[in-house]
């Protein structure tokens, strides 16, 4: 009766709205809609959570002609509903409150994910699917659901790993993903949820507004994403190979340039970071990768470790090339940095480069399962200090006025180019087999420039398996 009252009082509701108005579960709604279909109304829907019912009654739904006796049927139903006290005037009455269900407190709360964008690593890890807007709920390893839009449903069925993949046009049109998620949870009598730290604040507020008890799980997928499978490791190696080839493309452009008045020239004009960036990005694109934030930074600005690079490239001075491409297919990343000089590097730059390469080897040699993440960092810092340079880590400051390393030694690589674990002075967490990390010492001096060299590899029971094969030379000719 509640379903019939809601239909008559406000015809044309979508299924989620209809269930909420009537205060019934989706299962009850499906049963009642089936009975309505048996009475002669054109009702089409699929089973499970696939809420695609379209009631062809007057209202927001498309009007179709009804058979003889339908109006009499509606009048009879209306009279029965009014007699039962369930009639409501949609212009004045409030919405019927949804039926409350008892929350189940046993076991961990279901995981509810809504992507922060197409590259949301937690969403991709959970579903195998990259999408801008969708809803994913995991009740258990064998019980999960992806809800997506008509725009993405076919691609989701081809790519997503969820056990159920359904379409919800209303959630897409009205941006009501949180409401759709709450309805699915209520169907199972659940009022709790765990969400990723990547979840947008607006989605978090929307979920809580639906009456859910929501926990931001800061450890969600952290341990799982750290332990790379053989397939994940292969994807990272593929990305690393693409990164190496892009570095060679950049170095080739540098090596072919002429030196005029201390500036590199190519094709009748100064060779710029932008030109080298375009060549590297085109090269990566042909291989199915992209790296919009790569670094191709000349001196002296490359003394700023995250300076992206712009304008003409100076000769006889270091150029830092840091490329970390993402696969458009697998979404896994690689990460490599090399430093080269076109012309004659100064003795100071040669000393900086030699110290950084030695520190890189020391860091790699210290990596093993069970070793705290800070130990490779301290090994790197010790070499730099022993070679006359410094760091910003306590106890390894070095002399005043020398080139210094002002960052950690490395970070995890996977679906994010920066993820757990970190190799820095505060990391007590031990490394484990399956971790993929960078080792990237560097030293920088304002007014002069910087030198950084970086390899990426995996922690194994034998130590560090280096995914990087490219020379570390300062001389561009050694790359060609």
Q: What does 407-468 look like in DSSP terms, one character per residue?
A: S-SEEE-SSSSSEEEEESTT--SBP-TT-EEEE--EEEETTTEEEE-BEEEEEETTEEEE--
- Is 35 within a domain? yes
Q: How far is CA 443 from the centre of its chain?
A: 30
Residues 11 and 40 in one domain: yes
Q: How confident is the model at residue 370 (pLDDT cuts 50, 70, 90)?
A: very high
Strand order in the sheet with 263-266: 258-260, 263-266, 269-270
Q: Could you read off the pLDDT of 371-380 as tens digits, one per residue?
A: 999 999 999 9
Give yes or no for residue 31 having a pLDDT over 50.
yes
Q: How confident is the model at residue 188 (pLDDT cuts 50, 70, 90)?
A: very high
- Is 106 within a domain? no
The whole-model pTM stands at 0.79
Residues 45 and 121 in one domain: no
Q: Could you read off the pLDDT of 328-348 as tens digits, one per residue?
A: 999 999 999 999 999 999 999
Q: Could you read off the pLDDT of 70-107 as tens digits, one per residue?
A: 555 555 555 554 554 544 444 433 333 444 444 445 67
Q: What is the mean pLDDT of the chain?
A: 87
| Boundary-marking domain end, from 67, 83, 99 | 83
| Boundary-marking domain end, from 220, 243, 265 | 220
- Is 145 within a domain? yes
- Is 104 within a domain? no
Residue 295 has what pLDDT? Answer: 98
Residues 46 and 143 in one domain: no
- Is 90 within a domain? no
Residues 140 and 65 in one domain: no
Residue 113 has what pLDDT? Answer: 98
Residue 417 tokens, joined? 């180019």
Reduce the DSSP state of residue 277 to 3 states and report it. Answer: helix
| Boundary-marking domain end, from 200, 220, 240 | 220
Write the CB contacts of 446 (distance below 8 Å, at least 6 apart in sequence).
300, 303
Q: What is the tally of structural domains in the chain?
A: 3
- Is 100 within a domain? no
Residues 266 and 345 in one domain: yes
Residue 175 has what pLDDT? Answer: 95
Residues 234 and 200 in one domain: no
- Is 246 within a domain? yes
Q: What does 341-389 look like in DSSP terms, one character per residue?
A: ESS---HHHHHHHHHHHHHHHHHHHT--TT-BTHHHHHHHHHHHHHTT-
Q: Could you read off the pLDDT of 400-416 as tens digits, one per residue?
A: 999 999 999 999 999 99
Residue 96 has what pLDDT? Answer: 39
Residues 335 and 397 in one domain: yes
Residues 180 and 72 in one domain: no
In which domain, by residue range, is 53 found? 2-83
- Is 240 within a domain? yes
Average pLDDT over residues 181-204: 96
- CATH classification at residue 185: 3.40.350.10
Residues 362 and 232 in one domain: yes
Residues 139 and 284 in one domain: no
Residues 214 and 278 in one domain: no
- CATH classification at residue 71: 1.10.10
Residues 412 and 462 in one domain: yes
Q: Which residues face 312 on adjacent strands?
A: 272
Q: Could you read off the pLDDT of 44-78 as tens digits, one per residue?
A: 444 334 433 344 443 333 444 444 455 555 555 55
């Amino acid at each position: 009766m509640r379903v019939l009252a809601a239909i008559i009082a406000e015809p044309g509701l979508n299924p989620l709205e209809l269930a909420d108005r009537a205060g019934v579960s989706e299962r009850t709604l499906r049963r009642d809609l089936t009975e309505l279909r048996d009475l002669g109304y054109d009702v089409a829907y699929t089973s499970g959570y696939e809420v695609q019912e379209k009631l062809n009654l007057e209202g927001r739904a498309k009007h179709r002609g009804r058979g003889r006796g339908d109006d009499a049927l509606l009048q009879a139903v209306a009279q029965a509903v009014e007699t039962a006290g369930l009639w409501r005037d949609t212009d004045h009455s409030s919405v019927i409150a949804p039926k409350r269900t008892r929350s189940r407190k046993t076991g961990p709360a279901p995981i509810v994910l809504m992507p922060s964008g197409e590259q949301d690593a937690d969403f991709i890890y959970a579903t195998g699917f990259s999408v801008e807007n969708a809803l994913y709920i995991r009740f258990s390893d064998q019980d999960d659901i992806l809800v997506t839009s008509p725009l993405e449903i076919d691609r989701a069925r081809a790519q997503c790993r969820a056990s159920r993949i359904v379409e919800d046009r209303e959630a897409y049109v009205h941006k009501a993903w949180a409401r759709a998620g709450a309805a699915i949870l209520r169907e199972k009598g659940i009022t709790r949820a765990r969400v990723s730290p990547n979840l947008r604040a607006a989605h978090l507020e929307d979920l809580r507004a639906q009456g859910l008890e929501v926990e931001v799980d800061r450890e969600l997928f952290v341990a799982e994403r750290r332990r790379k499978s053989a397939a994940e490791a292969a994807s990272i190696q593929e990305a690393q190979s693409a990164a190496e080839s892009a570095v060679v493309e950049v170095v080739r452009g540098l090596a072919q340039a002429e030196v005029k008045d201390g500036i590199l020239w190519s094709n009748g004009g100064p060779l710029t970071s932008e030109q080298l960036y375009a060549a590297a990005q085109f090269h990566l694109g042909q291989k199915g990768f992209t790296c919009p934030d790569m670094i191709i930074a000349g001196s002296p600005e490359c003394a700023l470790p995250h300076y992206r690079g712009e304008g003409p490239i100076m000769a006889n001075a270091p150029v830092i090339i840091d490329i970390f491409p993402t696969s458009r297919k697998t979404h896994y990343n690689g990460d490599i940095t090399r430093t080269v000089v076109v012309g004659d590097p100064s003795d100071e730059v040669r000393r900086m480069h030699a110290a950084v390469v030695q520190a890189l080897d020391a860091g790699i040699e210290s990596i093993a399962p069970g070793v705290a993440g800070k130990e490779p960092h301290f090994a790197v810092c010790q070499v730099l200090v022993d070679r006359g340079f410094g760091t910003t880590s306590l106890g390894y400051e070095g002399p005043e006025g020398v080139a210094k390393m002002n960052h950690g030694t490395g970070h995890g690589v996977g679906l994010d180019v920066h993820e757990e674990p970190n190799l820095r002075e505060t990391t007590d967490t031990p490394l484990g087999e399956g971790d993929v990390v960078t080792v990237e010492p560097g030293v920088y001096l304002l007014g002069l420039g910087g030198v950084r060299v970086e390899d990426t590899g995996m922690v194994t029971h034998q130590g560090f398996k280096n995914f990087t094969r490219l020379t570390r030379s300062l001389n561009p000719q050694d790359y060609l």
